[in-house]
């Protein structure tokens, strides 16, 4: 599932991402959230039953992480893979465990669920 956030997806509660039951384990969905006067590209994955969302930007160099449109997982769906220089991130913590940015964390995007719909809040830049 791929998604591009539109202005209609924005509300005071956050940015509508998808329905919670739309995203199966090992699947991902892209979206954008407003951050000041710009939009930030983000993605959400379901990993071992739980949703996790991050800014779609490697912590090594400012490159997007999907190696094919909306594909973030390794073949076994156990890591998120940066295609540029091969960094591996754990899906549940966003920590890089192999590759140039080893030890750094992807910027998390907080999620909230309301009535079965997932909304994203502003990214955590720290
Ligand atoms: S840009 Fe991701 S590992 Fe270099």
Please give the Cα distance from 49 to 33 (Å, whole number): 23
Please give the Cα distance from 27 to 62 (Å, whole number): 23
Please give the Cα distance from 78 to 90 (Å, whole number): 7
CB 17 within 8 A of CB 30: no
* CATH code: domain of residue 68: 2.102.10.10
> Does ligand 1 lie within 6 Å of residue 81's CB atom?
no
47 in any annotated domain? yes
Ligand 1 pocket check: which of 54, 57, 61, 81 to mutate, most ligand atoms within 8 Å of Cβ? 61
66 in any annotated domain? yes
pLDDT score at 119: 95
Task: List, for residues 22-68, the tens digit of each pLDDT value.
Answer: 999 999 999 999 988 999 999 999 999 999 999 999 999 999 999 89
CB count in 10 Å sphere of residue 79: 18
Q: With 80 as the cut, is the pLDDT of residue 21 above it?
A: yes
The residue with greater pLDDT, 3 or 120, is: 120
* Domain tally, the chain: 1
The structure tokens 């954008």 sit at: 32
Q: Which domain holds residue 22?
A: 7-120
Q: Which of 106, 108, 62 has its CA nearest to residue 84?
A: 62
């Amino acid at each position: 599932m791929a998604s591009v956030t539109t202005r209609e997806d924005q509300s005071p509660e956050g940015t509508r991402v998808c329905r919670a039951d739309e995203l199966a384990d090992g699947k991902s969905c892209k979206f954008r959230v407003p951050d000041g006067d710009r939009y930030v590209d983000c993605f959400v994955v379901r990993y071992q039953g739980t949703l996790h969302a991050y800014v779609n930007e490697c912590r090594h160099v400012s490159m997007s992480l999907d190696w094919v449109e909306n594909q973030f997982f390794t073949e076994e769906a156990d890591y998120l893979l940066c295609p540029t220089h091969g960094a591996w991130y754990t899906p549940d913590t966003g920590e890089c465990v192999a590759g140039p940015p080893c030890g750094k964390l992807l910027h998390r995007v907080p999620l909230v669920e309301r009535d079965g719909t997932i909304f994203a809040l502003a990214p955590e830049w720290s």
